Each structure stands twice: as C-alpha cells, then as structure tokens.
Structure 1
C-alpha cells in the first residue's frame, strides 16, 4: 500500500485547520484521541457503544487518555474514516471492516461472513485461533492497529416494501446489502448497493432501493424503517454475529506505552462483551414493539432462498479468498477455526436443545 501523507490526505479532503489534526492532542501529559465513526453520533447501539468505550478509556486511564467521538460526516464521510485515521486526520475509527473490501478482501473476515461465526466464536478466533495476529498483519499494511470493540450478535434479514415469497421475487430488486451477503444476493437476481446508515431511510422512502438490511430490531426501530416498509425477514444468515472495529493510527499506537495500550485493549474487550449483552436485551423488546405496535409483518426467509445461498456460498467464498494473498491466508485460518469450533458447537447445541425440551 502506498502510504498517504497526513498533510496530503487532509488537504485532499478539504479539511479546515488540517494542520491541527496532524497528531493526537497532548496537553500536560494527557492524550486526546479523535474517534471518527461511520454512523451518526449518539445512535442507539453503535454510537452509544462508542461513547461507552470512550468513557471506559477515560476512567481506566484516570483521565490521562480521553477519546473525543465524532459522528459520520463531522470530519469525514462514513466511507473515508479508515483513510482519515491512517493518514493522521483522526486517531481511531469506529466502523465495520467489511466497508474496506475494496482495499483488501481479507477485511471482511474481521466483520462477518454469511453462515459464519457467532459473536462468541468470532472473539474466540481472534483471541485463541490466530485471528488477531492476522488482523494485525493486515492492519499494518494499511497503517493501522485493529481492535474488536463491539458485536451486534445475530442480525435480521432485512426490510422489503413488497413481500418476498421466493428467489424469483428478488429479481431486479435494488437492495442495500454490503459485504459478501450482497454479492450472494446478486447471484439470485438482486441489485446490491452500499449506502451509509444515515442515508438509508431516505433511500428506502424515495424508492432508490426496494429493500435493505441494517442491523437488528433495536437499531432498525430507531431508524424508522417500519414507516415505509412492513415486511421484515429473519434470520440474518448473512450476519450471524457482526463484529465492529476500531482502527488506531499505527504511529499513535506504537507511541503509546505498554500500559496505555493495555488500557485501550481492555476497554475494547469489555465493550465487546457489554455491547453484545445490550443488543441481545434491546432487540427482543424492539421486535415486540415493531410487530405489536407498528403492524410489521415478520417473515422467515423462503426456503429456496436460504438453500440457494448455502449452495453458492463455498464458490463465492473461494473466489473471494483468491483475490489477494492476505485474503487467502486469512480465509484458511478462519475456515479451519470454523470447522473445528463447530464440532464443539454441535455438542453444546445438542445439549441446549435437550435442556429446552426438558
């Protein structure tokens, strides 16, 4: 990767006072990190989790490190946050790694893959399956240090204005489905596009898109998609456990002491767990509200769509993994871990199924 200079990137973005954004603010021994988010500030779940992470860093460091959170568009657009941080126009992102597929296909494995890892499995891969080491290698190629800071858990299949009864109903439908899930839907005749979260309601309302997936009931209710679409699908087989990321400018990370790095890492680990718990709690209540108060029709995905997606997944993933050396290496690790971990998962699922019946 050709490294973009901090001054050059900031000038290219047309940022006012770019020279003031060249490095973390340091005053009286205190560091202030500027977090650039890919979503609106204070948005339930995604934005509020970022705020909680920032507060945890401040608390654990006894105020010696603070994180100032900027929402999408305050400094750069959602799809520019990684480049901005890598160049020094910010210090840390709050985003999803599958936004960076265009930089290297390997990034998607650190967010979510269709029929892939659950939230617990993803963290297990990072911590004990070699995933973090590979992620660090990938991040270094792009001038950043990666951290997992949140997982939304299982997501929903998305919203449609018209009911989807079979794969044939997807023909020509314009849908907001990022990542590999969108690529797979395109093979069923849909037309996927990637649109930032803050623009989704308007795009659905205006007819720019016919359907979309965002996150899950808690976030979807907040965005008001039920006001323009009434058909809500599950399960979110494309996102069984979506991990969100923070990428720290590599120079900023390397300039930190071991204690400072440990504070950031532990704050991220804690928020991953707490954020997941909050999503699980809020989603159930929000889904009940959508169905019982707003007349949303809850549908299970038609069987032919699920079976076709499962059928094409191995080929799509193989093609994807072959697109870069890094993707090939990461895919091999991810796949080996998934297959081994599923052996344990099958045992625990069997036990849990028996307990539920009892």
Structure 2
C-alpha cells in the first residue's frame, strides 16, 4: 500500500493531507540549514537523551556546520508521545524516540524497538543491516511520510521493579504496570492494567502508588531514575525487550530536500549512535547492578511458570496482528533473521562464553 492510499483510508488522513501543504521547510541562513528534533526524552534522561544528543552532535560536526540539529526535549515543543504526529504534520523536522511508542499508528513499529522474545541487540543490528530490516523500516516510514533509521540501543532491558515478589502468573491480575509496546499488550493478556507513561513521569507514578510496578531500561538508567528509593524487588531478565533499538525519523519531504551529502550524514550519525549507545548502556550496567544490590535491592528472576505465561500471552499478541500484511512481512523477516543467526551463535559464541566463564572465572 502506498502512502497516498493509506492516508486516504486512515484516521490520520485528514491531518496528514492538510499538513502536506503547510509543511515548514528547514531554516536556511547563508547556505546553512537547521532542523528541529523533538524527542520522547526528558532533558538529561540517562542514555536515551544521550543518544539523541549524540546524533545531533555528530551531524553538526560531520556537516561542518552546514546542517545543524536543534534538540527539543519532551515537553519543550510537544509531549513525549506526540513526536510522531509532530513530524508527520511538519510541526517539527525529525524525532528521536522508541518506535514502539507508535504501535497505534502501525503495530509493525514495535519491531524497530523490541518485541517479546525477540532479537538481542546484536541480532537486531544483523537483521537491520543484512536481513531486510532497514528496507522494511523505510517501507513503513513511507506510509507516514517519514525517513527512519535506528539510532540507539539500550541492550537487554530488565524485567522491572515490583512492590512484591512475583511467584506465579496470577500475581499479574489487576497489577498496574508501566510497559509500552507489544510487551505491554502481552501483560494485558495476563490480567495486568497497563499504563504507558513517558520516562520522565514514571518515578512519580511509582512513588505515588498510581502504578504498582514498572520497567524502564536496565540497572544504570534505572538507578539514575531512582526506582530503588521506592521498591526493592528487581527482576533483571525481561521477556519484553531483549535488545531495544531507538530511532531517528525525519519528515520525508524535509529529508528529500536535503543535499545527498547531508542525507548520508544523518544516516551515518544515526547508525553510529546505535552502536555507541549500546556500548554506553552495557558498560555501565554491571557496576550499577552491584551498587543496587549493595544498597539492599533484591535481584530476582521470574519463575518458569511466569515465563511460560509470558510466552503464551506474547503468541496471542502476535497472532492478533497477523492479518495486517505489512506486520506479517516484518514479523517473518525478523524471525527468519533470528533463526539464521542463531544457527551459528548457539554452537560457537554460546559455548565459548560458557567455557570462558569456566576456565577463567
């Protein structure tokens, strides 16, 4: 389905069609251009805002000042979850966010962040760069007038913070829990009341009792957010987001009006940030989890019965979306890439890591 047909037959058609005539061009001054980037992150939010800043700094440096990105944190121009609409409507030039915030626009966006029992960070990069993921991201973006690239990765995300231990699937009944994306939809199947909150609002919601638990990212970012001040039960392995990508999306008309060199600069800055940000998160998580434990946090793993319930609920969520042809195409491509990669890593890398731990400790 092309963009024109989709917009004509969708709820966003009127807004997008009106915006197409009102799109503000990037600011120009003596051959220089400035793009406004809106983000889903509070200013200074550990890791995720860093990724947005990294993209902007890299673009500014590589273009030698001919292209400048001006960042707006969540709430400075639009709200955290309004960035998608702001860019498609031409209110801003580009966004930095987690694309699974926008599954209501299309459920296929979940795969460009993270899905239950999905790809690790390395598997995500392989699928995106060599398994057709980038092309599918672009196909999805064309529907909404966006040009997108992955631009950050948190690595494996933690299972989250809870007010009490989880002993079985029944503990999710009525639990008010913050989790976006298809993982949140799966917890909803298990009876949880799912809250989709921006990162900057999660601490207050947990502290006030508005939610009973939350996932955010991992030990380093979670410690920075201060969740250990509220609850001491921390599940470090989660089913929902094993290798979470972040994305930059530029309004497609704006992107196509840039010079080929500046288009390439945005692409390179985004993909470089993906690897840089992954290293940032992983390098900080080990020390952070040790500090959390030393401070009294109880680090836990979900029992097998809960993992089984997670899997059953996740299958239901995937099945419910398979009637959408593009979702199914993305799902099939994604799963085929994971299976292709795991055929080697399970007999090479996995045994090596086990033996390294055995012989070197």
Q: Does 2:326 correspond to 1:313?
A: no
Structure 1 outlier segments of 4+, above 6 Å: none
In structure 2, the CA distance between the partners of 1:269 and 1:345, relative to structure 1 (3 Å rule), is same
Distance 1:131 1:194 in 2: 26
Instruction: Quote the Cα distance in structure 2 between the aligned partners of 1:24 and 1:229.
Output: 46
Query: For 1:168 and 1:198, how far apart are their aligned partners in 2?
Result: 29
Partner of 2:10: none
Tell which deviates more after alignment, 313-322 or 75-84: 313-322
Distance 1:216 1:232 in 2: 10
In structure 2, relative to structure 1, the CA distance for the partners of 1:314 and 1:171 (3 Å cut) is closer
**Structure 2 counterpart of 1:334:** 334
**Cα distance per residue 1:194-248 (max 9 Å; x no partner):** 1111111111111111011011111111211111111111202211100001110
The counterpart of 1:94, out of the listed 92, 96, 107, is 96
Looking at structure 2, the residues matched to 220 and 355 of structure 1 have their Cα atoms a distance apart, in angstroms, of 29
- Corresponding residue of 1:16: none
Deviation at 1:149, TM superposition (A): 0.3
Deviations for 1:110-141, whole angstroms, at most 9, x for unmatched residues?
11011110111111111110111111011010
Distance 2:303 2:189 in 1: 16
1:5: Cα distance to partner?
A: 5.7
CA deviations over 1:20-77 (Å, ceiling 9, x no partner): x822111111111111000101211011221122111111111111111110011111
Q: Distance in 2 between matches of 1:9 and 1:76?
A: 16
Aligned residues: CA RMSD: 1.8
1:99-178 equivalences in 2 (<5 Å): 99-178=101-180
Give the secondary structure class of the aligned counterpart of 2:152.
Answer: strand
Matched, 1:180 2:197: no
Rounded to whole Å, the distance in 1 between the matches of 2:195 and 2:326 is: 25
Aligned pairs (5 A) from 1:225-240: 225-240=227-242
Q: State how far apart, in whole Å, the 2-side matches of 1:289 and 1:8 are.
A: 52
Determine if the alignment matches structure 1 residue 302 to structure 2 residue 290.
no
Give me the TM-score of the superposition, normalised by structure 1: 0.92
Partner of 2:32: 30
Instruction: Supply the distance in 2 between the matched residues of 1:326 and 1:256 (Cα, whole angstroms).
Output: 28
Paired with 2:61 and 2:15, the residues of 1 have a C-alpha distance of 33
- Summarize deviations over 1:223-280 as a string: whole Å, max 9, x none: 1111111111120221110000111000011112221111111111111111110101
CA distance 1:4–1:42, shift in 2 (3 Å): farther
CA distance in 1, matches of 2:280, 2:14: 38
CA distance in 2, matches of 1:181, 1:264: 30
Distance (Å, rounded) in 1 between the aligned partners of 2:250 and 2:189: 36
Supply the distance in 2 between the matched residues of 1:219 and 1:66 (Cα, whole angstroms): 28
185, 190, 212: which one aligns with 1:210: 212
Matched, 1:345 2:345: yes
The 8 Å contact of residues 112 and 241 in structure 1, kept in 2 or not, is answered as yes
The one of 57, 65, 68 equivalent to 2:67 is: 65
Distance in 2 between the 1:258 and 1:9 partners? 25
CA change 1:87–1:228 in 2 (3 A) is: same
Q: Which runs of 5+ in 1 are unaligned?
A: 11-18
User: What count of residue pairs does the alignment treat as equivalent?
Assistant: 347
Displacement of 1:6 in angstroms is 7.6
| Runs (5+) with no aligned partner, structure 2 | 1-5, 8-12
CA deviation vs aligned residue, 1:120-166 (integer Å, no higher than 9, x gap): 11111111101111110110100100110000001100011122222
Aligned residues of 1:50 and 1:94 also touching (Cα < 8 A): yes
Alpha-carbon offset, residue 315 of structure 1: 3.5
Q: Is the 8 A contact 1:39 1:78 kept in 2?
A: yes
Cα separation, 1, equivalents of 2:19 and 2:198: 21
Displacement of 1:313: 3.0
